[in-house]
A and B are shown apart, each in its own frame.
Chain A
């Protein structure tokens, strides 16, 4: 299974997501990329991330996304 950084690279191949702590602030993810990422995470892990969890603070960096996924029982 692909790592979280690899999944993110599938959406924005031009960035190395391991190097940033602020994907949104650094211009690496916009709100539409977040939607695409959520759809990818839902399909990859067989979950449905709640709509109210689709907010920028959960998609700041690899750690915050991992924390979110833990809440859905996923160990990425």
Chain B
């Protein structure tokens, strides 16, 4: 499915990571694997540091901190935006929506469209699509898109498949109207039949959390995890990404009328270094055009990794320059989505720690 939006732009971007840094080298002893094997994996996948929230910290805590930071520095006025979109898979509560909780904690105006979206690794693109759709309404002047997750709290520390790469983070993206001739192109696909590849089985209404769902079990791969924990079929996810993402990008470029070399940067979701290197090789994209250092520095924070890669790798250049970027997210759902747009100069672009 393709979309085109005109006359809109990202005007600013902030990424927030918890100050607490964990190291794979320190965590290796928690896994039921020989250290030498884990070290090899570390080298290939890019596992190193990752940022995790303190126990009890929720998505709204990261969101309130980040928004207050934007207000305090006059990057954003409290009353200047008319929609607040939150994309998360780790809401504070089942109800009310966490976007409403954020609105209430900051005492934001009532004329504010608050919306939660349950999406993961493609969540930045999904959130941007929703923001761009809202901006078709004259009454919406600016949209704040928050991508945030604290999935470390639902990941088993004894699961080497998931724990070393998971990261907690939040990003804040301001979207507003721009030059009329600006075009943003989108390609989006979803496939619920493969949804079991990435799941948290318990905690919803189908299988409520209980003492039984909290019990760690060895599911046959030397990892211990509970039904309350994130489960990732790494092989299925890897194959899905390698199979679906390159043709999606070709399709988007064709739809938008650009060649591969016309793109300045390919900023993709950051699952791990190996997967991104394989994508770059397949698509014949030079590594210099594809940032891939987020997992080793901060961990994989689901829908936050694209804005984090932008804030981490392109921050200085985006203060003064405009680039043609191709963004792509892929994961939970399964969902795979991409967007091609001009990006920059940005009014602000920062990456900060939450103390």
A35–B45 contact, CB under 8 A?
yes
A48–B274 contact, CB under 8 A?
no
**Which residues in window 222-279 of B have CB below 8 A to A?**
222, 234-235, 238-239, 241-243, 274-275, 278-279
Please indicate the chain B residues that have their CB under 8 angstroms from the CB of A32 in the complex. 41, 45, 160-161, 234
**A1-42 to B contact mask, C-beta < 8 Å, 1/0:** 000000000011000000000000000001111111001000
B282–A50 contact, CB under 8 A?
yes
A51–B235 contact, CB under 8 A?
no
Please indicate the chain A residues that have their CB under 8 angstroms from the CB of B41 in the complex. 32, 35-36
A56–B235 contact, CB under 8 A?
yes
Selected from A31, A35, A51, A56, the residue in CB contact (under 8 A) with B241 is A51
Please indicate the chain A residues that have their CB under 8 angstroms from the CB of B43 in the complex. 39
For A, the interface residue count at a CB cutoff of 8 angstroms equals: 17
Q: What's the minimum C-beta distance from B233 to chain A, rounded to whole angstroms?
A: 8
Please indicate the chain B residues that have their CB under 8 angstroms from the CB of A39 in the complex. 43-44, 274
A11–B40 contact, CB under 8 A?
yes
Interface residues on B, range: 20 to 34
Bound form: Cα–Cα A36–B279 in Å: 16
Selected from A12, A36, A48, the residue in CB contact (under 8 A) with B281 is A48
Is chain A's interface secondary structure helix, strand, loop, or mixed overall?
Answer: helix
B242–A52 contact, CB under 8 A?
yes
Q: What's the minimum C-beta distance from B270 to chain A, rounded to whole angstroms?
A: 16
Please indicate the chain A residues that have their CB under 8 angstroms from the CB of B26 in the complex. none
Tell whether A55 is near chain B: CB-to-CB under 8 Å: yes
Bound form: Cα–Cα A33–B235 in Å: 11
Selected from B37, B235, B278, B281, the residue in CB contact (under 8 A) with A31 is B235
Tell whether B221 is near chain A: CB-to-CB under 8 Å: yes
B37–A52 contact, CB under 8 A?
no
Q: What's the minimum C-beta distance from B309 to chain A, rounded to whole angstroms?
A: 20
Instruction: Write the chain A residue with the least CB distance to B272.
Output: A35
The residue among B235, B242, B279 with the most chain A CB atoms within 10 A of its own CB is B235
Known contacts A11-B37, A11-B40; decide if A51 and B234 are in contact (CB<8 Å). no
Instruction: Write the chain A residue with the least CB distance to B243.
Output: A52
Instruction: Write the chain A residue with the least CB distance to B238.
Output: A54
Q: What's the minimum C-beta distance from A38 to chain B, rounded to whole angstroms?
A: 8
Selected from B40, B160, B278, the residue in CB contact (under 8 A) with A51 is B278
A50–B242 contact, CB under 8 A?
yes
Please indicate the chain A residues that have their CB under 8 angstroms from the CB of B275 in the complex. 51
Q: What's the minimum C-beta distance from B283 to chain A, rounded to whole angstroms?
A: 10
Bound form: Cα–Cα A11–B235 in Å: 18
Bound form: Cα–Cα A50–B243 in Å: 10
Q: What's the minimum C-beta distance from A24 to chain B, rounded to whole angstroms?
A: 10
Q: What's the minimum C-beta distance from B304 to chain A, rounded to whole angstroms?
A: 24
Please indicate the chain A residues that have their CB under 8 angstroms from the CB of B44 in the complex. 35-36, 39
Bound form: Cα–Cα A39–B279 in Å: 14
Q: What's the minimum C-beta distance from B47 to chain A, rounded to whole angstroms?
A: 11
Please indicate the chain A residues that have their CB under 8 angstroms from the CB of B279 in the complex. 51
Q: List 23 A-B contacts (CB under 8 A).
A: A11-B37, A12-B37, A30-B221, A30-B222, A31-B238, A32-B41, A32-B161, A34-B235, A35-B41, A35-B274, A36-B40, A36-B41, A50-B281, A51-B238, A51-B239, A51-B275, A51-B278, A51-B282, A52-B243, A54-B239, A54-B278, A55-B235, A55-B239
B interface list, Cβ under 8 A from A: 37, 40-41, 43-45, 160-161, 221-222, 234-235, 238-239, 241-243, 274-275, 278-279, 281-282
- 7 closest residue pairs by CB, A with B: A51-B242, A51-B278, A31-B235, A39-B44, A48-B281, A52-B242, A36-B40
